[in-house]
Structure 1
């Protein structure tokens, strides 16, 4: 039954961890979508009519990373591509924190955000490949649950971020850093060797 399939997925700690890792990766992008316009326009004084150009940079990175993924996923493997995407996002989140602490300027934030967002498609697509490899007989249930996690976690993080008081880019940066760290922790948990 459908309920039985959902229960089986929730009991499978590794697959559930991959879903949560993918969900927090997606939520990091939601952090930018929720707070980015205010951070760019109000705090960093980007003209509203020019915001689209900065947003387009994220799309360019998404396109580049999607092409990269399609070229190398067969050689490297979906699981390694998934992990690589998460680590790139974690490094970019750390870069945003460090660049803000050191006052490296607006463009360091823009590049960090674009590189982070660029990995979202690589993470989500390879997460699904890994999950479906574990549960090929319940592909529909697994896909729907993974999608629910992605948009559910993203919506919660975005809603919480909207409650923050913005005097700087820090709320957005900390939100992205929290999501990236959560993703890595879930991925590391899933990678633990099975107990005999």
Structure 2
């Protein structure tokens, strides 16, 4: 896959993290503008996650029926219009509705970028490209809040959504000019009437579902960290709020570095092999985190070491689970990508909520959820690979 297409797919993959992380510094200003509190402003974030989960299920069948370009350009256009609507929202209800529509448009890039990679690459090639795209996913949590904070201070919170509109217009131009149709010419287009049947077939495919759940549960551990770390770092251990971003960014940097290392290791080992090793690193670090949290240490650094390893290991786990799940999907790659994303965000949102439900004023809820995710991820990954090996032996026999 050439560099031009990878850069375009990187821009498309950035839609979701940018629309989430970019506007977080604007919460206080938005609460003031709409005469409400930040708790109600957070509804704009919750509804965005809901839109991402629902929208992906819509774009999958569309991509399998109409190809990759038409649904993609439609989704990017919808994101652009919704971003303008967010910028000029006259009320909080309007903003919440516009954020939902924005998510419906933005998730087109997530679904179809995975389908494009599957169209053009085998399992190993796909894992390499996904690892390169993780560079965008990892950089967004570092750079987007910093840029968003500067823009809110200078031009107000509306400027963030105007910037997202400009970004999406540029992405649409790049897609129109530089991204060819990649739907395999020899594959029949899938009718929309068979969408539910295709999703049912994917859910009954134990190998696909196993890899999808392994990735989803691993991402759930990261969401538990995102949900719990502000309290643990700032409230519990007294880290100044302005320094929180550096701790958050260091973990994101570990994620990026491991993702790039994974891309190099794939030249020697396949994605399934690397996944089978890395999930054990993840669960070992997660259980260490739980043990340290149970001791309630006075210093923060003992928690930071296993937490860094947990987040960094996802740079290997996530691209490899996506590559293994998408391998061999062919004409239904759009539906497979959509269901993969829906499972990931659905499980991850549940983990973030569980951290809040278990909140007890310690680091234990965050550590417990991350550890649970680690145990489940390694269990499902190992059983999935045993099943896949058994199928391979049966096919050879």
TM over 0.5: yes
- Aligned with residue 94 of structure 1, among 279, 287, 293: 287
Equivalent residue, structure 2, for 1:79: 272
Does 107-116 or 145-154 show the bigger shift? 107-116
From 366, 369, 382, the equivalent of 1:172 is 366
**Which of 355, 365, 384 in structure 2 is aligned with 1:161?**
355
* Gapped regions of structure 2 (runs ≥ 5): 1-193
Distance (whole Å) between structure 2 residues aligned to residue 137 and residue 123 of structure 1: 25
In 1: Cα distance, 2:386 partner to 2:263 partner: 27
**Equivalent residue number for residue 212 of structure 2:** 19
The aligned runs of 1:89-128 (5 Å cut-off) are 89-102=282-295, 105-128=299-322
User: How much does 1:69 deviate?
Assistant: 0.6
2:239 pairs, out of 46, 55, 80, with 46
Aligned residue in 2 for 1:6: 199
Q: Distance in 2 between matches of 1:40 and 1:86?
A: 26
1:56 aligns with 2:242: no
Bigger RCO of structures 1 and 2 (CA < 8 A, at least 6 apart): 1
Moved more, 63-72 or 106-115: 106-115
TM-score of the two chains, using structure 2 as the length reference: 0.47
Q: Which of residues 327, 332, 335 is equivalent to 1:133?
A: 327
Q: What is the aligned residue count?
A: 196
Q: What is the rounded CA distance, in whole Å, between the counterparts of 2:223 and 2:343 in structure 1?
A: 13
Residue 134 of structure 1 deviates from its aligned partner by 3.7
Stretch deviating more after TM superposition (117-126 or 44-53): 117-126
The reply to whether residue 152 of structure 1 matches residue 346 of structure 2 is: yes
Rounded to whole Å, the distance in 2 between the matches of 1:98 and 1:160 is: 19
Secondary structure of the corresponding residue to residue 166 of structure 1: coil
Give the drift of 1:100.
3.0
Maintained 8 Å contact 2:223/2:349: yes
Matches of 1:136 and 1:121 in 2, distance apart?
Answer: 26
Cα RMSD (Å) = 1.7
Structure 1 residue 136, shift from structure 2 partner:
3.0
Instruction: String of CA shifts for 1:73-101, please: whole Å, max 9, x gaps.
Output: 12111111222232221111012123334
* Deviation string, structure 1 residues 99-157 (Cα, Å, up to 9, x no partner): 33455642121121122112223212111111122423321111111111111100011
SS at the partner of 2:268? helix
Deviations 1:38-58 (A, max 9, x none): 011111111111111111111
Q: Which residue of 2 aligns with 1:185?
A: 379
Counterpart Cα distance in 1 of 2:318 and 2:195: 23
Bigger-Rg structure (1/2): 2
TM-score by length of 1: 0.92
* More off after superposition, 45-54 vs 99-108: 99-108
